[in-house]
Amino acid sequence: MKSRILLTVTLLGILCGASLLLQSDSEATAAEGLKARVFEMRTYTTAEGRLGVLHKRFREHTNYLFVKHGMTLIGYWTPADTPETLVYILAYPNMEARAKSWKGFMGDEAWKKAWADSKKDGPVVTKVVNQFLNPTDYSPIR
């Protein structure tokens, strides 16, 4: 009998809601791949000296609001070779859920206030790049 073990893992101490599915053999099919979550990797470049302000905004406001609007937080990183940069990954059940989550987030009065407050001393983010990622059939995070 094929056994599956579902383990909840913590990815760099901040993985929320992602699962690692271990299988006795490879049962992944194209159909299963279509059911996988959609991941979005976002890279923010900040104005010089403003990365701390961005960290504060995420720590005190943004993360809470992402979760409130149905986004799953996967992880946050600051690249060792790219100062003033924040990279993070969010997950959604599908692209439609992503659109709904971002619409709710951007319209949230708490977000509008946090964003405006963080910009009082000048711009924080100067560039945003986002990329959608589909996990492979052998990826431990689906």
Q: What's the chain's Rg over C-alpha atoms?
A: 17
Residue 2 lies in a domain: no
76: exposed, middle or buried (Cβ count in 10 Å: 0-12, 13-18, 19+): middle
Q: If you search the block for the tokens 């986002």, which residue do you land on?
A: 130
Q: If you search the block for the tokens 């492979």, which residue do you land on?
A: 136
Residue 28 lies in a domain: no
Helices (H), 6-94: 30-35, 51-57, 63-68
| Domains held by the chain: number | 1
Residue 104 lies in a domain: yes
Residue 11 lies in a domain: no
Q: With contact defined as beta carbons under 8 Å apart, do 91 and 37 qualify?
A: yes
Res 78 pLDDT > 70: yes
This prediction's pTM: 0.74
Residue 139 lies in a domain: no
pLDDT at 35: 66
Residue 14 lies in a domain: no
Q: Range with the lowest mean pLDDT among 25-34, 46-55, 77-86?
A: 25-34
Task: Tell me which residue range forms the domain holding 93.
Answer: 36-133
Q: How many CA atoms lie within 13 A of 89 on its CB side?
A: 19
Q: What is the CATH number of the domain that holds 92?
A: 3.30.70.100
Res 142 pLDDT > 70: yes
- % of the chain at pLDDT higher than 90: 68
- Confidence band for 121, pLDDT divided at 50, 70 and 90: very high
Segment 92-118, tens digit of pLDDT: 999 999 999 999 999 999 999 999 999
Q: With contact defined as beta carbons under 8 Å apart, do 39 and 74 qualify?
A: yes
- Who has greater pLDDT, 47 or 14? 47
Q: Range with the lowest mean pLDDT among 14-23, 79-88, 108-117?
A: 14-23
Sign of CA dihedral 32, 35, 87, 130: positive
Residue 62 lies in a domain: yes
Tokens of 53: 């302000």
Residue 51 lies in a domain: yes
DSSP β-bridge partners for residue 44: 86, 128
- Who has greater pLDDT, 120 or 22? 120
- Who has greater pLDDT, 4 or 67? 67
